[in-house]
Amino acid sequence: MTRIFFTLALFASCLVIANLLLGHTIFGYGDTAKEYAEIFQKLESATSRTDSPSTPTLEKRRDDLRAVFLAKQRRMTWHFWIGIGSVLITMLVNSVCVTYFIGTNRWCREVVETYGLDPALLTSSNALKKRAFPWSFAGILSAIAIAAFGAAADPAGYLQNESNNWVWPHYVCSLMGTGIIIGCFGVQVRSIRANYEVIRLILAKVQDIRQASIQPKA
């Protein structure tokens, strides 16, 4: 399980980091979109007057902005979809850890009680579960926070008139959230590895008990 979770966590971390770097390339997207729309309005007003001398200048400016805008728009689209995917995968991976500890902790309790093993084994499993759970939820909440700030910073979103005010908060939240998510994965990997050792110890003790029970009595 440790290898599986580590692979999933590594994949999720790479997605989050890649999207953070991609988002860094689209700074000023909202300003570009706004300026592009303003140029179109000015050009429409100018073309309505056939003798307007500013039309060629506006057309050149429109063409220049179009190339910049379309390039950023493509990256923005990728940033949006990769962001959704990375948030969902991050939540899924953290949920895997929660599910794992719920299942294995119940198994440890049943085996320890059934075979009368040292209660310290169950205590160790409980402690690892309690240590991992807060980090799992912290990773989930960090991913949700990044997505929420990203929605606020989207020029095409609900707060489109105020989206520029949310660009830097979204960027800072993404930096902090990415670090928190990776840190949470690290704690969970260590907790799962330690819990695996507890499970191995329980299995070894159960095996000893079974072997002792089938040995012929002198």
Span 107-161, pLDDT tens digits: 999 999 988 888 999 999 999 999 999 999 999 999 999 999 998 888 776 666 7
In tens, the pLDDT along 13-22 reads 999 999 999 9
Q: What is the largest CA-CA distance in the chain?
A: 116
Q: What is the pLDDT of residue 215?
A: 67
Neighbours of 210 (CB within 10 A): 10
pLDDT interval class at 164 (50, 70, 90): confident
pLDDT tens per residue across span 176-218: 999 999 999 999 999 999 999 999 999 998 998 888 877 665 5
Q: Which tokens in the block code for residue 158?
A: 């609900």
Q: Give alpha helix (H) positions in the chain.
A: 2-24, 29-47, 55-115, 119-153, 167-214
- H-state helical runs in 116-166: 119-153
Q: What angle do CA 13, 17, 21 make, to 5 degrees?
A: 170
Distance, CA of 57 to CA of 43 (rounded, Å): 9
